[in-house]
Amino acid sequence: MLAKIINETTDAVVAAVQGVDDILGAVTGAVKHEVVSVLQSGGEIGGSTIEAVASVADGAIKGAGRIGASVIDVTAETMSGIVQGVSEVGGDVIGAVRGGAQGVVQATAETGGDIGEAAVAAVQGAIKSAGSVGANTAEAAHAAVGGALDAATGVGGDAVQKVRDALLSAAALPRDVIESAIQGSDDKK
């Protein structure tokens, strides 16, 4: 079922951006629609909300790659669509942020992109989007960092170090929150 969600989202993103001027807005709308659809049909998912949202994010990034859009730009819009969609159905925004970041980093790794940049964009998008729906931005940052590191662990090699280094060196991210999230992730292992 998760592979189906990835494929449907990839196709939805590709279809949504064809012939539109506002590609990033179209991505946000397509992702939001997919999240709402997936969460409302919860019984059919067979996995957790985090896994389902990760699959939507994965599909969005793959769709962006298919149309030649910037994965970094699309990541922020993907996180926005996820947060808006989950918020609309009254779901767990923070859990969804974790899944979204995980899906973004996983798909970026699978498509040969820069996972460090993707992780930073996912955390930035999570903070901004969570704030726009009244969710706790520090919790959203923690969740996004955790999701990015989970995906990097799955990728293997030096992926975890690349993600950590990128997150810690990003001037746009609150360093104290990022350090705390990384430490919290390390403590869970």
The answer to whether residue 102 scores a pLDDT higher than 90 is yes
Residues 29-56 have a mean pLDDT of 80
Per residue in 132-154, pLDDT tens? 999 999 999 999 999 999 999 99
For domain 2-184, give the fold: 1.25.40
Q: Give the pLDDT confidence score for residue 109 in this predicted structure.
A: 95
Check: CB of residue 147 under 8 Å from CB of residue 54: yes
* Averaged pLDDT, 90-113: 93
188: confidence class by pLDDT, cuts 50, 70, 90 = low
Helix (H) or strand (E) holding 36: helix 23-40
Report DSSP letters for 82-118, one per residue: HHHHHHHTT--HHHHHHHHHHHHHHHHHHTT--HHHH
Sign of the Cα torsion 151, 155, 160, 163 reads negative
Q: How confident is the model at residue 189 (pLDDT cuts 50, 70, 90)?
A: low
Local confidence band at 48 (pLDDT 50, 70, 90 cut-offs) = confident
Per-residue pLDDT at 47 exceeds 80: no
Give percent of the chain with pLDDT exceeding 90.
Answer: 63
Tens of pLDDT, residues 14-35: 888 888 888 888 889 999 999 9
Note the pLDDT of residue 45. Answer: 47
| pLDDT recorded at residue 169 | 96
Query: Max CA-CA distance within the chain?
Result: 47
CA distance 6 to 147: 17
Q: What is the DSSP string of 44-96?
A: HH-S-HHHHHHHHHHHHHHHHHHHT--HHHHHHHHHHHHHHHHHHTT--HHHH
| DSSP 8-class letter at 170 | -
d(CA 35, CA 24): 17
On average, the pLDDT of the chain sits at 90
User: In the prediction, which pLDDT does 88 show?
Assistant: 92
* pLDDT higher than 80, residue 131: yes
Query: What's the whole-model pTM score?
Result: 0.90
